[in-house]
Structure 1
């Protein structure tokens, strides 16, 4: 058994404050930073894991040290994250998992995205009196926003194909931590004290867990979760069926249907019938590399590839890292990608759109000509060979998510992004874990200007996501980079920008992650507060940009492979770490 409780709070970064509460909803960042210390690259020769919390990274490292596969480590990491980083991800949420099998030279992507209840209708988030979409804060809390969790099914499907250690063995670190307790991080304490998600204070069982004796959990204190330990013991023994059938499924449905806030329509049958899916990765060449990511229902993969391909002809590598001219082009490519994303991307099982049309050279060459020396303003979707009304939606994508990257001793790799959506999800709790509020990633309004929205709520449908796990290959097919990030819809910018830093500017992966961040989601250009980029506000304004300086809360976790050596990087804006066989 692992002695993980000895890992003290000093390994965690100083916490991270919330943005001002009077900002528009889409710019409120519940995990934004107020300053951070640089981290240094971690090296390895055999295996590497980079995860969002030291406990989780330690669990993954221990599994790999025992000869476990990258998938084995992923299961152990997610089990621990559910306990120690409950605000960001967990078994009550969903995930996109990419796995590269080196021996077979095979890339498989697993879709563990949540599904809407079979009784859900397009009016799920409409006010019964006005017929208009409810305010976002009323949409996210309670049973109505909960989709069938998919992460356990996705991990189980991947483990059946690529696991080495037994399923039960992978839960041992999380069971021990749940029983013996973990040290609460400053980040968890701050998120609770800032009251970003009102449901944490309003849902009785959740309030009791996070506010024992009426006070928020304190950083440095020991927190146990015997309910989660007991459920993990059943899950370890019985397999994924313990999640989707029997007592756990009944508790999820009962909790959702009887929520004190916005009760939902999720049923036991919905949970019983959930299936994780394998999907075709979306891939495109970029310089001498092949870049692959998740296809729909992720919008992230296509958008990241579009940004890179739109910039390819600009020869971004000629510029110094974060040169203002290069970043201007980056924001324009991002505008164009987000314009397409908002119109063309949703659950592929509910439409017949061929997303490869968004990545053809002809289409991208036409779009790239729109990138000029001044800000283009609001971009509109292009005209690929897709017949669809061009209407954007009002989905909410909030930045409480987690990403981890893994390479095992056999050279297999995992890039996995996992989420329960908003900080603390729906705030409903079952068997010691939180349930997601991912249904708010659907368009809350079913139509716009009389046209149905492609990402509207429909029974058993998966909401669109911005999660963007990526694996990059060299020309010879060998691994080059495994990367991803949390951050809501800003994930797309965080991942694309950091990939440019590694592949074009040739920065070591940790330096690339450390770079000051810039985002544009076809709205304002946001420059990271308290960095050198913030000083360029006037320059961007003169280029026509509407500029905001704000905290940006990327949580990039990446592994770079150079000449057989593994180089791991963890985002200094959060508490994650990189560990290899050389780490102690």
Structure 2
């Protein structure tokens, strides 16, 4: 199913929206995975909005035009740089499990983990959405424009209509066979019972109504009143796996400020999200393990360079799967996982002439006895970045988890299937798994919104979509930019190396395929696959910020 969701790339015309004259100064910049959302962000910047305002307008617009990937029915992580102080802050808008949820949620009567296909459709996979609370917290801290103004571009798109992109058409084609049990999404996103085709105009009056209500009444209108009733009716009344979410679960949800997780890579400082995201610890872990190697000298065409990336990756992911989870529930050894001495010890095992025989988790400082297992993250999600004239920078990843989330629609928006990001097996080796389901807990995530600093100032921002591949998309982009000197766009275009239970996986159709024999000589088992990749980045130049969108996507970047 997921292979069908890999996007074709075609140019799309973005609607022109009237905006106020931009103030004097260095122009701002926006980039997202859809041209209509990017235009929404630019419109807000031209009206005098901050980077946070522009990012939130893009999040709302993506709810409309990229419903298969993200939206107000899901959650996200936001990383913010203050232009005056260069202080970095992060906000966790990750979805939460209902309080009634237990660690038996994803096992059958015999105690065996369900398959992902059996788990994700329906109400049981829906977590309490976080994006609107995240938006309220972020704009209260860093917003400039009125709350209502940020909704205008998204409402216009929902009311007036927009053209279906290849990624959206692929997603409807892949998931519509499930929609016999989901009449609301079938009615909204199919034409005469058939998947939507590229270029079809879609209008969503129900979503326009919901957005207008939240715009008029504020964030509380999402978590109580009419919208809460509609959301709960969709989730608990699902024909498939009805939810145990309650009105109390919705009313209690809060986005949380979290400490940023930062680490050094050469002369740079790399900062991103901490738990329940494994993004920053994974990216910093791989980079720190690679630091002793001259990646610049090896270069982008060296099989040894990609071999080393693959070796570090598999060690760091082993640590991630064992130790990472929601730090509100589990003692997560973040300091140990990013400890340079520990990572240098892990790096010492890497060789340029041979692969390791196994990739087991290590013992980072302060780590408790722990067991873990890979989570079931699947590709969808979206990323966007904004920078404004005052030097504020926002990089945010937003998601409904898999394509069209749970397949449930409420108030015109897609409800997430984020609870399938918990590890399905609650125990392993006689111990509870760190990322098991618990009531009120946030599932582990790979999302990795990242800002890079040089001499205390932000110089690069990046993030990606694509499930567990996200940290590796971010990592290879950083290596390509910081070590190999590529522009933001060219760094995004670099191929990705990943892994599965059999060995390394290289991106099909790229020059990495030609390196397979060389990688095999180093001891790897290697296969080529079409990976679910989609990223955005921005670099600071002498003329200001320049954005970039992954050439694999339909995304765009615009200057204010």
When normalised by structure 2's length, the TM-score is: 0.95
Distance 1:498 1:394, change over 3 A: closer
What is aligned with 1:225? 204
Conserved in 2, the CA contact under 8 Å of 1:33 and 1:573? Answer: yes
For this pair of structures, how many residues does the alignment match? Answer: 546
Q: How many Å apart are 1:508 and its aligned residue?
A: 1.1
What is aligned with 1:176? 156
SS at match of 2:471: helix
Q: 2:64 aligns with which of 60, 83, 92?
A: 83
Question: Is residue 2:102 matched to residue 1:121?
Answer: yes
Q: How many Å apart are 1:516 and its aligned residue?
A: 2.1
SS at match of 1:536: helix
Alpha-carbon deviations, 1:310-346, whole Å to 9, x = none?
Answer: 0001121112224211110000010111010001111
What are the ranges of 5 or more consecutive residues in structure 1 without an aligned counterpart? 1-20, 22-27, 38-43
Conserved in 2, the CA contact under 8 Å of 1:553 and 1:573? Answer: no
Q: How many Å apart are 1:548 and its aligned residue?
A: 1.3
What is aligned with 1:242? 221
Q: 1:448 aligns with which of 428, 431, 451?
A: 428
What is aligned with 1:12? none
2:541 and 2:290 mapped to 1: Cα distance? 24
Distance 1:30 1:160, change over 3 A: farther
Q: How many Å apart are 1:517 and its aligned residue?
A: 2.0
Q: 1:255 aligns with which of 203, 227, 234?
A: 234
2:4 and 2:89 mapped to 1: Cα distance? 32
What is aligned with 1:15? none
Q: How many Å apart are 1:104 and its aligned residue?
A: 3.0
2:421 and 2:4 mapped to 1: Cα distance? 17
Question: Is residue 2:44 matched to residue 1:63?
Answer: yes
Q: Spell out the pairing of 1:99-178 with structure 2 (5 A cutoff).
A: 99-128=80-109, 130-178=110-158
Q: 1:278 aligns with which of 257, 264, 285?
A: 257
Question: Is residue 2:32 matched to residue 1:51?
Answer: yes
1:36 and 1:375 mapped to 2: Cα distance? 40
Q: How many Å apart are 1:176 and its aligned residue?
A: 1.0
Distance 1:523 1:152, change over 3 A: farther
What are the ranges of 5 or more consecutive residues in structure 2 without an aligned counterpart? 12-24
SS at match of 1:417: strand
Q: How many Å apart are 1:568 and its aligned residue?
A: 1.6
Conserved in 2, the CA contact under 8 Å of 1:358 and 1:384? Answer: yes
Conserved in 1, the CA contact under 8 Å of 2:283 and 2:472? Answer: yes
Which consecutive segments of 4 or more residues in structure 1 shift more than 6 A? 34-37
Q: Spell out the pairing of 1:108-507 with structure 2 (5 A cutoff).
A: 108-128=89-109, 130-195=110-175, 198-372=177-351, 373-475=353-455, 477-507=456-486
What is aligned with 1:72? 53
Alpha-carbon deviations, 1:25-71, whole Å to 9, x = none?
Answer: xxx5453357899xxxxxx9511101010000000011011110011
When normalised by structure 1's length, the TM-score is: 0.91
Distance 1:554 1:247, change over 3 A: same
2:499 and 2:295 mapped to 1: Cα distance? 18
1:30 and 1:290 mapped to 2: Cα distance? 37
Distance 1:575 1:165, change over 3 A: same
SS at match of 1:418: strand
Pairwise CA RMSD of aligned residues?
A: 1.7
Alpha-carbon deviations, 1:406-465, whole Å to 9, x = none?
Answer: 111111000100110010000110000000000011111110121100100011000000
SS at match of 1:348: coil
Distance 1:32 1:338, change over 3 A: same
Alpha-carbon deviations, 1:517-574, whole Å to 9, x = none?
Answer: 2223675211111121111112112222121111123211010002242222110111
Q: How many Å apart are 1:245 and its aligned residue?
A: 0.8
2:172 and 2:287 mapped to 1: Cα distance? 37
SS at match of 2:444: coil
1:485 and 1:153 mapped to 2: Cα distance? 22
Question: Is residue 2:535 matched to residue 1:556?
Answer: yes
Alpha-carbon deviations, 1:331-384, whole Å to 9, x = none?
Answer: 001011101000111100012333111111221111001212322143111111
Conserved in 1, the CA contact under 8 Å of 2:476 and 2:494? Answer: no
Distance 1:172 1:124, change over 3 A: same
Q: How many Å apart are 1:199 and its aligned residue?
A: 3.5
Distance 1:214 1:193, change over 3 A: same
1:29 and 1:389 mapped to 2: Cα distance? 38
Q: How many Å apart are 1:305 and its aligned residue?
A: 0.4
Q: How many Å apart are 1:394 and its aligned residue?
A: 4.4
